[in-house]
Amino acid sequence: MRLDASQPANETAHSAKGFRFAIVASRWNDSLVSRLVDGALDALKELSADGDAIKIYRVPGSFEIPLCALKAAASGKFDAIICLGVIIRGDTPHFDFIAAETSRGISEVGLRTGVPAMFGVITAENVEQANGRAGTKHDNKGYEAAIAAVQLMNLYRKEFGK
Ligand code: RBF
């Protein structure tokens, strides 16, 4: 399924207005991660997020994303946490450990705090593959993660009041 800012699944226009966002992004593979951050910012702007509603936290690598995301979620300052990173397999077995812990940790943030934590971490075999997922709009996992965050927050607010 493709996530589209202009045509949400339930045909109600989703807005980011009034919601507060933390973006937690890793510095490892910085040139690619910065494109994910830009993609997320573009999406939030398109969905009318307030100018001062977005805070960006940079952490060393993807492995460090979950703890920073947990602290941001637990602070009560944000309605959603958008986690962005790039993990490239290359030829190291570290890939599997880092990728598994990062995804498990991000999932745990949402379940522990009730604050949606979006998985915008690219796990790729090589730089070319990662490049293709850090393009523009729907070819950018940061853009897609931000759209998904706004859809979720609107869903939760409508159905559960928060
Ligand atoms: N962090 C990433 O975000 N992406 C990577 O592709 C990545 N590859 C790594 C490969 C090795 C061999 C090591 C030791 C670390 C790597 N890291 C990577 C950094 C990791 O997420 C973390 O910041 C460091 O291990 C410090 O805890």
List, for residues 60-91, the tens digit of each pLDDT value: 999 999 999 999 999 999 999 999 999 999 86
Find out if CATH 3.40.50.960 is the number for domain 21-160. yes
pLDDT tier at 105, thresholds 50, 70, 90: very high
Tokens of 16: 């980011």
pLDDT tens per residue across span 2-41: 555 554 444 456 899 999 999 999 999 999 999 999 999 9
What is the distance between the alpha carbons of residues 35 and 37, in angstroms, rounded to a whole number?
5
94 is catalytic: yes
The predicted pLDDT at position 11 comes to 43
pLDDT tens per residue across span 116-149: 999 999 999 999 999 999 998 889 999 999 999 9
The predicted pLDDT at position 13 comes to 60
What is the distance between the alpha carbons of residues 28 and 44, in angstroms, rounded to a whole number?
24
Residue closest via CA to ligand 1's atom 26 equals 61
Residue showing tokens 């969905």:
47
Average pLDDT for residues 90-113, to the nearest whole number? 93
Amino acid of residue 70: L
Task: Starting at the earlier edge strand, list the strands of the sheet with 21-26.
Answer: 54-59, 21-26, 80-88, 117-124
The predicted pLDDT at position 18 comes to 95
In this predicted structure, the answer to whether residue 51 has a pLDDT above a threshold of 90 is no
Select which of 94, 104, 112, 157 is catalytic: 94
Name the residue of 68, 94, 126, 131 to mutate for ligand 1: max ligand atoms within 8 A of Cβ: 94
**88 CA to centre of ligand 1 in angstroms:** 9
Query: Is the overall model pTM greater than 0.75, yes or no?
Result: yes
